[in-house]
Amino acid sequence: MKWFSTNESRVSEEISNQMGKPITYAKKEIATMIDRSEALFKLAPEVLKEDSVLIDSTNYMKILKEPIGISLLISPWNYPLLTVVGGLICSILCGNPVLLKHSIRTPLVGQQFEDAFKSTGALNVVQHLFLENIDIKKLYSVPNLNFVGFTGSVETGIAVQNDIVKANRFINLNLELGGKDAAYVRADADLNFAVENIVDGCMFNSGQSCCAIERVYVHSSLYDAFVDKSADFISNFYKIGNPLDETTNLGPMALPDSPLTLKEHVDEAINGGAELLLGGNITNDSNGKGRFFEPTLIKDCRQDMLIMRKESFGPLMCVARVENDDEAIDMINETEYGLTNAVYTKDYKKAIQLAKKVKKCQIYF
């Protein structure tokens, strides 16, 4: 990871230029990636050591951790370092070389990983592939390829799975797909803490996160105050601009069709009775450049709206009122996606109870 530290300026600028992440956040992604790698290095000796299981007084079973072959990692553009490093470092620590197919939107990041390992003399450990998506399926028939890790959309994840089946391969497959993550603010939540964290969960990386909060359910006793504080926070915190500017904290949308999709979701919600409080429009920066979407706050959203059902992947905060825990849990679980969800409360016992009812959950106190 020393290579990434030494080349921080180059790597962060390339990320910002390719997919629009504000450069301050690109630098933080580098630091987080390095921390995550170092944690895996420390864990590896214990995790990979032989396990012995005593069967009886004279017999035991030994479990060996052995390499399985080539790993193919298919990685997305939104967190171009963090979505790679877990699978890449784990594969290498387990003795498996890596073929890395990075997004066509961030191909230079894939090359950075190859260059980093080459700088240590490890010439054939990581190879970055410049391939069109249609050509990836040809790799599934490679005999020594025994692991595929994919991070991206549900639709593409299904295609990867089906293509492996069509190649008549039974290999290890790990999929980390899209989400429509929700947050529930209970009546006893720390309001200021919930507002700041949930807004960040909606807006960070311009909402282009698999685990972004895209639905917010707030107990009726806190609803109005939560909406007002959120509007104030969003209005005063976010600055749209050139991602290479250190003061920018809301970058452009990476995909050409994203602004139109977001606009469709927002307009459908407004026409269906939701109230737009902030944003809601495709825009440019102060110099008239860029492909941006305004940080957007909408209240009184309903479950049947596109904005509450389909992955938006943009800087949208969509809020709905609930009257009790059961209603909140039912709404959180009413989705075709599954990734993460969050509950904000001060009651530890209640938090654990709710976590067991939610499909995927994190608890915040």
Residues noted as catalytic: 176, 210
**Environment class of residue 304 by beta-carbon count within 10 Å: exposed (0-12), middle (13-18) or buried (19+)?**
exposed
Residue with tokens 């300026």: 9
**Which DSSP state fits 115?**
H
**What tokens were used for 154?**
């549900």
**What tokens were used for 264?**
């469709």
Q: How far is CA 139 from the centre of its chain?
A: 26
3-state secondary structure of 181: strand
3-state secondary structure of 73: strand
49: number of Cβ within 10 Å: 11
Q: How far is CA 355 from CA 331, 334, 351, in A?
A: 14, 15, 6
